[in-house]
Amino acid sequence: MLKMEEWLLIRDLYSQGFSISEIARKTGFDRKIVKKYLKLRTLPEPQKRPGRKSKLDPFKPYILEKLKLGDKTINYFLKNINRVV
């Protein structure tokens, strides 16, 4: 996805009479990208990606509970999680 400044530069160069190929050469973007973004009236908002599950998700309640009880080391959690698995 292009930044706002890049999108504005493409539009500005096009309004100055530069061809799509010339804009692509000047900016380093592919001709198809230049053409695609010239068709847009506004720059699209970036879409948020869904979060990925963690391997620790099944153990998070256990870890948070133990952290509330006091200061524990990573080795303590590793030992106890390995026992559960």
pLDDT 10s digits, 18-68: 999 999 999 999 999 999 999 988 877 878 888 888 888 887 887 788 778
Asked if residue 58 and residue 34 are part of one domain, the reply reads no
- Rounded CA gap, 3 and 34, in Å? 13
Instruction: Tell me whether residue 13 is in a domain.
Output: yes
Residue 80, in any domain of the structure: yes
Q: Report the predicted TM-score, pTM, of the whole model to 2 decimal places.
A: 0.54
Query: What was the pLDDT predicted at 72?
Result: 67
Residues spanned by the domain of 71 = 54-85
Ramachandran sector of residue 28 (left: φ over 0; alpha: ψ -120 to 50; beta: rest): left
CA distances from 7 to 11, 14, 32, 62, 72 (A): 6, 11, 14, 48, 50
